[in-house]
Amino acid sequence: MNQASNEKENLIMDGQEFLTFILGEEHYALDIMTVKEIRGYEAVTKIANAPPFIKGVLNLRGDIVPIIDLRIKFEVGQVTYDDFTIVIMLNIANRVVGIVVDGVSDVINLSMNDIKPAPEFGVAFDSQYLHGLARLEDQMVILVNIEALISSDELGLYESNRDLDIRENNNELA
Amino acid sequence: MTIDMSQFNDVFFEESQEHLDEMEHLLMELDLNDPDPEALNSVFRAAHSIKGGSDIFGFKALTGLTHVMENLLDRARKQTIKLSVSIVDLLLEMIDVLKSILACYRNDSDIDWELVGTSTRRLEDAVKVTSEDEPVDESDNEGDFGFFESPIIKEEVEEFGFFEDPQASKVSASDDEDFGFFEDVENKDVKEESNDDEEGFGFFDQDEPALEEKAKADDKEVVQSNNSEPPAEITSQEKEPSNSVASVVKSVPNPVANDAKVVEAKANDVPATTKPAATPVKAARRPLKPVEKTPESSTIRVETSKVDTLVNLVGELVITQSMLAMIEEEVDEGVSEKMLIALVELERNTREIQEAVMSIRMLPISFVFNRFPRLVRDLSSKLNKTVDLNLEGATTEIDKSLIEKLADPLTHLVRNSIDHGIEVPEERAKAGKTAKGTITLKAQQKGGSILISIIDDGAGLNRERILNKAAENNIPLQKNFQDSDVWNLIFAPGFSTAAEVTDVSGRGVGMDVVKRNIESLGGRIEIESTAGQGTAFHIHLPLTLAIVDGMTVDVAGEIFVVPLVNIIESIQPDQTQIRLIKNEPLLWVRGEYWPIIPLGSCLSVSNAIEDPSKGIVVLVESAKKRFGLLVDDLVGQQQVVIKSLERHYKRVPGVAGATIMGDGSVAMILDVESLSHSVTSQEYVQQAEAI
């Protein structure tokens, strides 16, 4: 079931809008519909015994929201926090999570024809988290399947999806 | 007047569900030898409300069935028939049928008309059988409130006329007896106040609040007809002052003390403007229930999401308020004093708002517990067991969202206890126990959590059988299994030791779902079992959204909150009080050795103080262990709102939740219970060595 939904998410609609952001030297883009807001980096509260890329949690108007730093997780760019460091707040599957990036640059419109399949190597992210590549004014933009990435077991942000699925199914049975 | 009825559908579904629950509850409590007439009246009214409502909304399946049910109930409450166990059983069954029909309408699914038909016939038969004894006494009808009994709504209009006829004096007499009831419901909010037009009136008659309103009107009419007022008053009743109600009762020499008291309180505020009714009041035929027994109170239905928004906004308000407090320290002296006064006021107000808002979400756990008497009754008779159900601590308040999710796991556990736990009477007798088994459902607030226990005095879990079954299911087993480890095996998926699968339980899907459901609420479940004496399931649930009194502590600049309930005392230890056993520090205080957990290393905070004599040790107590938490410093004591970490993240060991501090930053609330797991059982060995 998971597999099926992932494939579904991989389909990109014509004219879909993407937010481009920068990690290190590379340009990435994610589906703008998942973006809740963009804000500057501010101090977070650490979570005990969490992996280093989970920076901690912060108070987003009363919600306790985890902040992850993809630069640490995928070892891209320099991990620095300054006035220009940006946090993109994402709303994925009714959960809010913030990702730390070096900057956001633009909102772009892409159609199916613009998107080339992702290479198996050479990109920090595993290809299962990518929609593909797009060329934009001499620049290569990597389209991240952010929903698959955030809810992946690899990040371990949530209890594993399979567990949740089973739980839901069981709840229905019960 | 055309109204889009569909907008009221949801309200009708909700209310009907409540009415059905209430009917079930009342029927269960009914003493068949001496049925409480008030209770029967309530059951009847509930059925009537559903009938009326369903007729208006066009839910014909409900209307037909409730109509026959109403007939039966009507006879029961007029005592023309004697209630028997079989009738109550039939009524309970009908309530189930009604519930399923209601669910069908709610989900827009097809109605099982055959079921409706057979159910209606069975009820009709019951009515026929019972009504052969005695014909319905019409005059009796008059003695009570006529319009409650009318099987067809249209008649109600005619009955208005009835109150205006010369017999009014007789009515006012009987009227008085029912006063207790009307005062009780008076608080219930009246949804439609300005409903002057006749058509609309017909509709709202179906609802209880409207009945109450009409009752008021009727009272007025009674008095007014005594004073030869024109009957036209009936349509403009809302504009009339209602003080006549009070004055009648007040001025009449009334032998019904309860009555007088209830109404008099009201009468005191209102000047009596109408002439007293001259009719003396008949002595009450039956005692009236005291007012407080009726659970109806003024309530409104609000979507929970609205309450949640409110809770969040208030949280924001609290933070803004403490920001203001910080700014106050920077302002000029002249302004500062005035501002301080205002701030103190603001602080008090926000605190009160916060408490009030929090209490909105809390409901007594009886909302879940109340379904169990029925379940136990049905199941035990089906399994030929006799089981008593004890409910304890039903007033314990718990967050509404937890209540909704608790129902299923608790039902599973209670069913299990009856099916597997409690033995059949013969076996119980052999084991030297009373033939009647007992199941106790207990809720209590324990520290920062709610503890719900399901305790039975049955056979207990069978260690051998569980181990054998585990072997069958290829679950890896260790040799020296503790009992508690063995018990936990029953939570494995597909695990059931029941010799045969019944439709009650034994399919093995139950317990693992129970465990997962409880864990998804951030709680955990424990089993205690003694062979031959019974089994107890303990469910520990966090008080999500509850406010917790906490001690804020500092560990290398990071702030943590320790729930105050866990804290025994905080001390600054002397070097002489500290012993090192195998490099683990132990603290000698109060004639005991306490293991010390350095919070810094436990929660991976670097640069925390590691020498206990340089920091502060907070002595805490969890359900099973006592130990000291080494922190750098104490910051202060304050109330904090528990926010779920799991909402957007996942459960973190050692952390019960998070809270938002005055400056808007997040602090973790420690879970002393799970921190205690890092105090290994070797502490006892160490203690022994130390002493």
Mutation for testing the B interface, residue in A42, A47, A67, A150 having most B CBs under 10 Å: A47
DSSP B383-397: TT--EEEEEE-TT-E
What average pLDDT does this structure show over B284-305?
Answer: 58
pLDDT tens figures, B391-434: 998 888 887 778 878 888 888 888 888 888 888 888 888 888 88
What Rg, from alpha-carbon coordinates, does chain B have? Answer: 32
pLDDT at A170: 46
β-strand pairing of B578-581 with B567-571: unpaired
Considering only CB atoms, B603 lies closest to which of A48, A56, A57, namely A48
pLDDT at B131: 58
What average pLDDT does this structure show over B167-193?
Answer: 41
Q: Is B247 a residue whose pLDDT tops 50?
A: no
What average pLDDT does this structure show over A31-47?
Answer: 91
Number of Cβ pairs < 8 A linking chain A and chain B: 97
Chain B: residue whose CA lies nearest to A167: B516
What are φ and ψ of residue B269, in 5° steps?
-80, -20
CA distance A69 to A101: 7
Tokens of B40: 């029967």
Considering only CB atoms, B649 lies closest to which of A43, A57, A173, namely A57
pLDDT at B293: 47
Q: Which range in B263-267, B607-611, B666-670 is most confidently predicted, on average pLDDT?
A: B666-670
Judged by CB atoms closer than 8 Å, whether chains meet at B649 and A58 is answered as: no
pLDDT at A100: 93
Q: Is B626 a residue whose pLDDT tops 70?
A: yes
Q: Which CATH number fits domain A2-173: 2.60.120.260, 3.30.465.10, 2.40.30.10, 2.40.50.180?
A: 2.40.50.180
Per DSSP, the three-state class of A118 is coil
pTM: 0.47
How big is the CA angle at B400 (ends B396 and B404), to the nearest 5 degrees? 105
β-strand pairing of A103-110 with A95-101: unpaired
Q: Which of B51, B202, B26, B19 is nearest to B123 (CA)?
A: B51
Burial label, B137 (beta-carbon count in 10 A; 0-12, 13-18, 19+): exposed
**3-state secondary structure string across A19-76:** EEEEECCEEEEEEHHHEEEEEECCCCECCCCCCCCEEEEEEECCEEEEEEEHHHHHCC
H helix runs in B431-528, sequence order: 463-472, 483-488, 510-520
Per DSSP, the three-state class of A89 is strand
What is chain A's mean pLDDT, rounded? Answer: 79
CA distance B685 to A126: 50
Mutation for testing the A interface, residue in B666, B670, B674 having most A CBs under 10 Å: B666
pLDDT at B268: 43
pLDDT: which is higher, B159 or B339: B339
CA end-to-end distance (rounded Å), chain A: 20
What average pLDDT does this structure show over B116-136?
Answer: 70
CA distance B314 to B641: 11
pLDDT tens figures, B94-108: 888 888 888 888 887
Q: Is B93 a residue whose pLDDT tops 90?
A: no
Task: For residue B667, list chain A residues with Cβ-Cβ distance below 8 A.
Answer: 45
| CB of B71 closer than 8 Å to CB of B151 | yes
What are φ and ψ of residue B414, in 5° steps?
-65, -40
What average pLDDT does this structure show over B55-74?
Answer: 81
A53: alpha, beta or left, given left = phi > 0 and alpha = psi -120 to 50? alpha
A93: alpha, beta or left, given left = phi > 0 and alpha = psi -120 to 50? left
In the block, tokens 């502490």 appear at B683
**Least confident interval from A106-115, B80-89, B430-439, B605-614:** B80-89
CA distance B69 to B59: 16
CA distance B144 to B296: 21
pLDDT at A99: 93
Task: For residue B558, list chain A residues with Cβ-Cβ distance below 8 A.
Answer: 45-46
What Cα–Cα distance (Å) separates residue B201 from each residue in A121, B193, B227, B230? 74, 11, 25, 20
CA distance B576 to B667: 33
**Model-level ipTM above the cut of 0.90:** no
Residue B239: Cβ within 10 Å count: 9
| Identity of the residue numbered B77 | R
| CB of B667 closer than 8 Å to CB of B559 | yes
What average pLDDT does this structure show over B139-164?
Answer: 41
Q: Which helix (H) or strand (E) holds B371?
A: none
**3-state secondary structure string across B140-206:** HHHHCCHHHHCCCCCHHHHHHHHHHCCCHHHHHHHHHHCHHHHHHHCCCCCCCCCCCCHHHHHHHCC
Could you tell me how far CA A13 lies from the centroid of its own chain? 18
What average pLDDT does this structure show over B267-279?
Answer: 42
**Least confident interval from B54-63, B120-129, B200-209, B501-510:** B200-209
| CB of B578 closer than 8 Å to CB of B613 | yes
pLDDT at B269: 44
Q: Which of B589, B586, B582 is nearest to B598 (CA)?
A: B586
Q: Is B138 a residue whose pLDDT tops 50?
A: no
Tokens of B125: 């038969």
What Cα–Cα distance (Å) separates residue A113 from each residue in A134, B15, B230? 9, 56, 83
Say yes or no: B388 contacts chain A, CB-CB below 8 A: no
Q: How far is A46 from chain B (nearest CA, A)?
A: 8
CA distance B315 to B505: 44
pLDDT tens figures, A106-126: 898 888 778 888 776 666 667
**Least confident interval from A21-30, B45-54, B418-427, B672-681:** B672-681
Chain B: residue whose CA lies nearest to A51: B604
Q: Is A98 a residue whose pLDDT tops 90?
A: yes
Judged by CB atoms closer than 8 Å, whether chains meet at A173 and B648 is answered as: no
Give the torsion through C-alpha atoms of B605, B610, B612, B616, to 10 deg.
-30
| CB of B207 closer than 8 Å to CB of B53 | yes
Judged by CB atoms closer than 8 Å, whether chains meet at B665 and A45 is answered as: yes
Say yes or no: B320 contacts chain A, CB-CB below 8 A: no
Q: Is B609 a residue whose pLDDT tops 50?
A: yes
pLDDT tens figures, B555-564: 988 899 998 7
What average pLDDT does this structure show over B309-334?
Answer: 79
A74-113 residues touching B, CB cutoff 8 A: 95-97
- Four-residue CA torsion sign, B592, B595, B597, B598: positive
Q: Which of B255, B262, B251, B261 is nearest to B284 (CA)?
A: B255
Q: Is B228 a residue whose pLDDT tops 70?
A: no
What is chain B's mean pLDDT, rounded? Answer: 71
CA distance A110 to A114: 6
**Least confident interval from A133-142, B316-325, B448-457, B588-597:** B316-325
A138-157 residues touching B, CB cutoff 8 A: 156-157
β-strand pairing of A139-144 with B558-563: unpaired
pLDDT band, residue A60 (cuts 50/70/90): confident
Q: How far is A145 from chain B (nearest CA, A)?
A: 19
Say yes or no: A165 contacts chain B, CB-CB below 8 A: no
CA distance B617 to B632: 9
The ranges assigned to domains in chain A are: 2-173
Q: What residues contact A42, with CB distance under 8 A and at least 6 apart?
A: A58, A87
| CB of B545 closer than 8 Å to CB of B642 | yes
pLDDT tens figures, A151-172: 887 777 776 544 444 444 444 4
Q: How far is B386 from chain A (nearest CA, A)?
A: 26
How big is the CA angle at A106 (ends A105 and A108), to the nearest 5 degrees? 145
CA distance B392 to B396: 9
Q: How far is A140 from chain B (nearest CA, A)?
A: 32
